Amino acid sequence: MPERNSWAVGSTDRPLISTEDARLAVSALLIPGANAITARNGIRPAPGTPGRVHAAGTASGSIVVEPFQGAVRASRGIGSYLVSLDSAKTLDVLAVPADPANDRYDLVIAQQSDEFYLDAATRFDVRLVRGTASATPSDPVVDGSRDWFTLGRVRVTAGANKITDAMIDQLPPGWTVALGGLLPVGSVAERNAIAAYPGQAVHRLDKGWTEVYDGAAWRVRGQVTAAALSDITDPYPSQLAVLANTGRLYRWNGEKWLYAAMLSGATPGGDWTITTNQPTSNTPTLLTFPQINRPPGGITLAGGVFTIEEPGWWDLSLNLRYTIVNTDKYAMIGGSSAGNLWAKDSVAGGGNNVSASTSRWLDKGATVRCYGYSGTASAVTKESPDDLISGFTAVWRGP
């Protein structure tokens, strides 16, 4: 019948628990496998490198398997075996010498045998399954019990007289934890291979964040720092993410990522002034600003052309002092040319100073130019080394 004896039932003289009942009861405490009554194969997370296979030494033909505990799902019955290798185990790979001409592949496996299913013995064994040397080597067929998982592969090269770490492929079954535990996974592929249940959580070792399966997709909960927004495979509306290389905060609106804020700790912008008088006339003159008063960020200057690196709203301000009083004098801020002006102001006689300012949304790569104009030949002036009047300031206000 489908119902199994529970843990633990029976009387003092008539216990009812079979070995399968016991394995099933233990499996109920483990993270699920492919269906509701199977547990996941794997190694229990622990400090160090549990289950790692490595060379025994620089001139040795042996390998070492590090201690571990794990779960091996029964393929011929039901439930899982809880297995342990309580100390490092050494396996002599070159006890069977390497072929002089061809490579071979040996597998390192963790195997549970059970006499109840007609195996020769009941035991847990971490062992080497040797392959056959060939011009096109392949993994050997594993003999004995079908209840096993791989730990590694040793590629025994032709004529080898020692085993090195470079010849070993790590092939662990992955991690397994108690039900409700945080399962470590090394990649999106490992995560996607899980037969997940709603509410299951994994820790992405490759990204350093936690994801939770909500019944439809794996969601990164809360604000995370990512190398690329595409690393978040299924964002939810209002998901927040910071790009590690820029410090920019983005928000998912259900369709796309929107730039939300700069979190790098520095407000983009800059402050520049002229260093010598720059002549102007009744034709707009492109001004240059060689003196940097504030190290710029998010904006660059070359040959009088400012280029926006940080998209968003920018406050732009141009202040000019002229050498001549009795003429029309202009300050102008524009984009691609003097015919593409965004702001200008003027003063006619009676004053030397004129300024213009504007706030504009500017995309990455947009350019900004500043112009001077005077009805009679004049000059934008720097009257003393400490005079910072004739200059341009740009401040990023936000996305």
Structure confidence at residue 371 as a pLDDT band (50, 70, 90): very high
Q: Which part of the chain is CATH 2.60.120.40?
A: 269-398
Residue 128 in tokens: 């080497």
pLDDT score of 76 more than 50: yes
217-239 pLDDT, tens per residue? 999 988 999 999 999 999 999 99
SS3 19: helix
Domain 269-398 matching CATH 2.60.120.40: the answer reads: yes
Q: Is the pTM of this model over 0.85?
A: no
DSSP letters of 196-232?
Answer: --TT-EEEETTTTEEEEE-SSSEEE-S-EEES-GGGS
Q: What CA–CA distance (Å, rounded) separates 192 from 55?
A: 32
Are the beta carbons of 66 and 49 closer than 8 angstroms?
yes
Residue 17 in tokens: 């628990």
Residue 22: the pLDDT is: 87
Are the beta carbons of 29 and 178 closer than 8 angstroms?
yes
For residue 264, count other CB atoms closer than 10 A to its CB: 17
Q: What CA–CA distance (Å, rounded) separates 225 from 309?
A: 21
120-155 pLDDT, tens per residue? 999 999 999 999 999 999 999 999 999 999 999 999
Q: What CA–CA distance (Å, rounded) separates 26 from 35?
A: 16
Are the beta carbons of 321 and 287 closer than 8 angstroms?
no
Q: What CA–CA distance (Å, rounded) separates 162 from 244?
A: 43
